[in-house]
Amino acid sequence: MIARARTSSVRPYRVLAAVGLFTALFAFTAATAWALASPELIYHWPLSMISDLGAGSCFTTDGRWICSPRAAWFNAGLLAAGALLIITSLIPHLGWGPFLRLAVAAAGGGLIMVAAFPSDSAPGLHMAGAVLALPVAAGSMMISGIRGEATPPTTASHRFSAARLRALLSATALLVSVVHLFPQWRLRGAAELASLSLLFLVIVLEAWSLLVRSGAEVTKGRPDRRPAADRSAAPQHR
């Protein structure tokens, strides 16, 4: 009874965290898509940083003209996504280790800094936010995978596989994100997009793992219901 009560009390936290992660990714994706859909947009994604969509003024960088009319909407989406990630990182009873929580919080804090300090007005703080959201978050996730930090799965082998997959994806994201920070690298936008995609994939997998684990605990916590014995088949004693 105690185990079942604990399962029922922990499950809402994990469902809430999964919803928070999915909603944060949706906010970021929707804001980016809306900014890219502007007919007046001047932007070259293989060469430009994604955060350039949040620049409040039109400007030239590396000989390219960038202008994002929907910058305010883009930054609002990043602020919402960042806040959701930070809130999610603080939710208890998720089975997360310290580095996994740090990774989610760093990604959220970085997005907030990127949105609050656009590249055209505060490039230094903007770059600090980008470093926090990508290399720091990816590095923390990689360490969490190496340490075996994961949402408690149904089996030990599943736990090992989930942690190893997170470490592999995060290490790749870290490598690509470090490369995209070098000005000499021509396709910086493409490298940043690849790093973000890998990081988002890790977050999606973690959110899905939270939901799967919650469902497994509900099934495990249900009492066994065996069909009642057929009274007509019972032997009669006189």
- Would 3 be classed as within a structural domain? no
In a domain, 28, yes or no: yes
CA distance linking residue 113 with residue 132, whole number of Å: 9
Q: Give CA–CA dist 143/163, Å, rounded.
A: 10
Q: 115 in a domain, yes or no?
A: yes
As a whole number of angstroms, the distance between CA 204 and CA 152 comes to: 16
The whole-angstrom distance between residue 45's C-alpha and the CA centroid of its chain comes to 22
For residue 118, tell me if it sits in a domain. yes
Note whether residue 178 is domain-resident.
yes
Q: How far is CA 211 from the centre of its chain?
A: 14
In this structure, is residue 53 part of a structural domain? yes
Domain extent for 175: 8-217
233 found inside a domain: no
pTM of the predicted protein model:
0.83
**Does residue 234 lie in a domain region?**
no
How many domains does the chain fold into? Answer: 1
Q: What is the pLDDT along the chain (238 residues), one digit of tens a residue?
A: 444 444 567 789 999 999 999 999 999 999 999 999 999 998 888 888 898 899 989 888 777 788 999 999 999 999 999 999 999 999 998 989 999 999 999 999 999 999 999 988 898 999 999 999 999 999 999 999 999 876 555 555 555 678 889 999 999 999 998 877 776 667 778 888 899 999 999 999 999 989 987 776 555 555 444 444 444 444 555 4
Q: What is the DSSP string of 199-227?
A: HHHHHHHHHHHHHHHHHHHHHHHSPP-PP
Distances 129 to 47, 77, 177, 222 between C-alpha atoms, Å: 19, 15, 13, 46
